[in-house]
Structure formats: C-alpha cells, structure tokens
Amino acid sequence: MDAARYHRDDLKTLAFQLLARGGMEQSKADIVAELLVRTDEIGVTTHGISMIPYYLPELAAGRMASEGSFEVIRDTGATLVWDGGYLPGHWLMTQALDICMERATTHGIAALAIRRSHHIGCLSVFTRIAAEKGLVCYIATSDPSGAWVAPYGGAEPTFTPNPWAIGYPAQGHPVLIDTCASITTVSKVRAHINDGIRFSHPWMLDAEGNATTDPNVVNADPRGTIQLTGGTDHGHKGYGIALMVEMLTQALAGHGRAQHPDRWGGNVYLQVMAPDAFAGAEPFVEETTYLGELCRNNRPADGGPPVRVPGDRVQSALADAAENGIQHPDEVWRRVSASAADLGVDLPSPIPERTATQ
C-alpha cells in the first residue's frame, strides 16, 4: 500500500505547531512552516517537514535562535552583508530575497552575503519565487562548522555538500537548477542510514578513501565522507564547485572556517538580476524558452523517456500535490510522528484513499 497523502494546509498546521511548541517565535514559525510545505509540494521531501525533527533539538538547546532579527554589517546599495545570528534560515531568506528583488529592480543586480544563518532548506523554493517575478536568482550555501565531503584526492571530511541553485524565467514555468558540489546530500545520507539501506551506486568514501555504497561510513571512527560530484574519476569538478561556494558564502561574508564555528549554521550568498537591466525581459525569455524546447525535443537516448529541463519535474510534482495531496516516505513520517508525540501535537488525518489518485 502506498504511503498516506495529506492536504497541504493540514501539513502546514502540523509544521507550525511543532515549531511553535518547540520554541520558535510564531511569526517566524509561520514562514518556516509554509516554506517547508512548499518544499514537500515540489517533491523534495528530504528538505521539507522532514527537517523539523532536526530543528527541534537546535531550538531546545538555543543553537537556533527563536526570536530577534539580523544585523546589517554593510550596505552599499547593490551589495549587503548580514549577520543572521543563527536565526531560522527560511525566515532570514525571505527577508533577504525581498530586499534583493527590490534593489535589483533599481540597480539591475543585487547581492547579499549572510553569515551565521541557520539551515536554509531547499534553494529552489527561493529561486522559484524570484523567477516567477521575472528575475534571475542565484543562491549558494555552506556550513563552516560542517565537514562531510573530502577535497579531491583526500580522505578527510572538510566541506559540506555546498549546494547552489539558479532559477530564471522562461515561457510556461521557470527553469530551476538545484545541485551541489557532492554527489548526494547529508539529508539523503541520513535517510539511507535511517532506512538501513545502501546507495545504489558508490557515492561514499570510507576513511581510507575507497568508494563504497555504505552510508554508515559517516558515523565510523575514523569517519568516511560523501563523494564529490564527478566521483573518483572526475571529482576535481565537484572540488572546484565546493571551493567556489565556500568563497562566495564565507569569504564574502567575512566569517567561515577560519573562525572555527561549532554550531550548525548556513552561510549564504544570494544574487538577484533583473533581465530588464541587461538586454531586456522579452529577449531573455525568448532565448531561455527556445533553448528549453531544443532540449525537450532532443531525441531520447536508447529509446528512453523524453528529455526534461530542470523545473519540469517541479511542475509535475506541484500538479500532483494539488490534485492528490502530499506524500512522504515512511522514514520521514516516522520521525515527524515521533516529534509530534513528544510535543503533544495531533497528527492530521490522511486524505481518504478513494479521493486520491494513486
């Protein structure tokens, strides 16, 4: 039997109640809950409400700030630096995105580096907001306290997966590219460990630097690591991306590994561009749409499925969630249910099977 599905509003209420009872200021909990559910709606269930069981201990210990605001370190008009004070990353990102979108319409481009944010979640949720307003949005993030990925040729964890994303407008729906410097994410490694299953491909390295499918190497002593994008053969490509992301998110923010932080955080680089300030919005969309159609109309290899453009899967997931509700893997629902039981929060009722198209 397929996992149960739930209405998005019921999941948002659940997420809000968990975060608020966990100690987060209600206005911030409302924003975080909304963005986590939007993440589930686009099918990225590793970064949706599945993150709440990881956030709650951070709130309880004061490692995620529950209230307050950011500090403006520098503001030149087109560029800014903020200190996020380990406030909820989703809330910080909504504030940052709003100001960068506003300033991009004035300056043509705006960039903001944030130090000491907490985890910001799925990047495509934010790039999609800007792209649907006709803007180009680039986001990169890293955690200077984290070490999960070894540099190419090394065997010791040094980087976080260092995700980056870009979203831009095209006819129909935005193009949403969201990837990282490593082959997989920490959340997917945790999910595989929780489910007791190996990866289908050797995405990990043991402590000696040997490729393996075993996610548990990250908990070994000495620790193994997640492989860089490109793996043992072309991992130098992922290595270069990892260095670039840490430069953008840490060096530009003036805070990173050199300060030896010991709290789970999320340094961020956010850049928004207005096509009108370049060659114009209409030719921009003409070009991005034409290229997208060239890709979609490309002959599939070996009789496989049609070629997709990043963002196509998001549209399909959104349509499915709107019609049938949101579905989570069993591993996610077990952890969320345990958090709800701990905090005395009622779980929502699933959508009756007869009304859901499975």
pLDDT in tens, 124-138: 999 999 999 999 999
What CA–CA distances, in Å, run from 298 to 286, 295, 309? 18, 5, 11
- Rounded distance between C-alpha atoms, residue 91 and residue 135, angstroms: 20
pLDDT at 303: 86
Residue 40 near residue 321, CB atoms below 8 Å: yes
pLDDT at 133: 98
Q: Burial level of 277, CB count in 10 A (0-12/13-18/19+)?
A: middle
Residues 6+ positions from 97 with CB-CB distance below 8 Å = 126, 129, 130, 137, 270, 272
Residue 138 near residue 164, CB atoms below 8 Å: yes
How do the domains of the chain map onto residue ranges? 1-67+297-358, 69-182+230-287, 186-227
What's the whole-model pTM score?
A: 0.94
pLDDT at 231: 95
Residues 6+ positions from 276 with CB-CB distance below 8 Å = 105, 108, 134
Q: Is the pLDDT of residue 357 over 70?
A: no
pLDDT at 56: 98
- Rounded distance between C-alpha atoms, residue 159 and residue 145, angstroms: 9
If you classify domain 186-227 with CATH, what class do you get?
alpha beta
- Rounded distance between C-alpha atoms, residue 242 and residue 236, angstroms: 10
pLDDT at 354: 61
**DSSP letter, residue 185:** -
Tens digits of per-residue pLDDT, 271-293?
A: 999 999 999 999 999 999 999 99
Averaged pLDDT of the chain:
96
- Rounded distance between C-alpha atoms, residue 165 and residue 115, angstroms: 18
Q: Percent of the chain scored above 70 by pLDDT? A: 98
Over residues 220-241, the mean pLDDT reads: 96
- Rounded distance between C-alpha atoms, residue 67 and residue 53, angstroms: 19
Higher pLDDT, 280 or 355: 280
- Rounded distance between C-alpha atoms, residue 230 and residue 233, angstroms: 6
Over residues 223-243, the mean pLDDT reads: 97
Quickly state the pLDDT bin for 60 (edges 50, 70, 90): very high
Q: Is the pLDDT of residue 2 over 90?
A: no
Tens digits of per-residue pLDDT, 136-159?
A: 999 999 999 999 999 999 999 999
> Strand 79-83 and strand 71-75: pairing?
antiparallel
pLDDT at 73: 98
Q: Is the pLDDT of residue 1 over 60?
A: no
CATH number of the domain at 1-67+297-358, please?
1.10.1530.10
User: CATH second-level architecture of 69-182+230-287?
Assistant: 2-Layer Sandwich (3.30)
Amino acid letter for position 132: E
Tens digits of per-residue pLDDT, 324-349?
A: 999 999 999 999 999 999 999 999 99
Q: Is the pLDDT of residue 101 over 70?
A: yes
- Rounded distance between C-alpha atoms, residue 267 and residue 256, angstroms: 8
pLDDT at 202: 96
